[in-house]
Amino acid sequence: MLDSPVVKLTQQLMELPSISEEEHRIGIFLANYLRKLDYTVELIPIALNSPRCNVYAYLGSSRKTRACLSSHMDTVPPHIPFRIEGDIIYGRGACDDKGPLAAQIMAVEELRAENKLADGDVSLLFVVGEEKGGPGMLAANDMNLTWEAIIFGEPTEGKMAVGHKGHYVFELFVEGLACHSGYPDRGRNANDILVKVLAELSALPYPTSELLGPTTFNCGKVQGGVAYNVLAANAYALCGVRVAANLGDIEKQIEEVVCKYPGVVLKKSFGYSETLLDYKVDGIDAMPVSFGTDIPRLKGDHKRYLYGPGSILHAHGENEQVNISDLVKTVAVYKKLVMMILSSDRVMGQEPAS
């Protein structure tokens, strides 16, 4: 399996650092790689004069295709070099998201070799920025294309994802009044206020979902103060809520807490609701996932499938990894999904709930 084409391509991709906002090299590599395989390839800037480009590839001259396979080219920092130990690939992007990306290309290549594809059947869409707000997928809406179904690649442990949580990300800015810590009555400690706000937010009874589980709150970044003997004049927190249900109610809950504290300002970064997916595929188990994806950022009434090798529990960590046998299996599953899409007038699967 070490000589498998999907392993070789995964290695090539992983050897190109592509932290969010630094995807230029990998985009050029993929464009050249696919052109050599006789794809029509477009490098599409995500904004006017932007150096950041999505890669869109298809067979022949028809940009519009029935099926599309999509993964993201960017990774979280830091870059971790590729290495193989036994049957496991380690390094940044192994499962999130360069392994799935390589498997999508190889799935299409194998179907081409088997003479199962025609022009207009399938395309590949590889985007920038998924790990940092999703500007690449948001820009893909400007391509003015529609598909019957899209297969998104992310680490789902070799199972079809039935849905994933939404995300509400916001910042808190606290204004205090600095003074000597020996006379705390003369000032107002922004850190103390922030701690109280965060404690209330953490204890809120957030909505739950039978399918996706509980909504969870996390404060990921805190800053405040200048010294141990000075009351903090300012404090800051960056927070995120993984939304299982009722995003609007969650926003109101948080606003009501923040409004109780003078001098605290809430600034919303972004938010999107939970996403329910199409998942009924013969012979493949399904499960919900708690992480977010680019899927809700792409508008349209297409069927939405989410599948990939590896575990999100390894993604973003120092031991990010993917089992080679799982990577090879993923190629076969992507082929199966593509043929399922192409064999029907309209993809049959679980209808997402309203």
Q: Give the active site residues.
A: 130
**How far is it, in rounded angstroms, from Cα 290 to Cα 279?**
16
**How far is it, in rounded angstroms, from Cα 90 to Cα 337?**
27
- Residue 19: DSSP 8-state: B
**How far is it, in rounded angstroms, from Cα 55 to Cα 34?**
10
Task: Please report the sign of the dihedral spanned by the C-alpha atoms of residue 84, residue 124, residue 152, residue 348.
Answer: negative
Residue 215 has a CB neighbour count (10 Å cut-off) of 25
Convert 264-290 to b/e letters by CB count within 10 Å (16 or more is b). Answer: bebeeeebbbbbbbbbebeeeebebbe
Cis, peptide link before residue 97, omega less than 30° from 0: yes
Task: Please report the sign of the dihedral spanned by the C-alpha atoms of residue 90, residue 93, residue 99, residue 102.
Answer: negative
Task: Please report the sign of the dihedral spanned by the C-alpha atoms of residue 313, residue 158, residue 319, residue 293.
Answer: negative
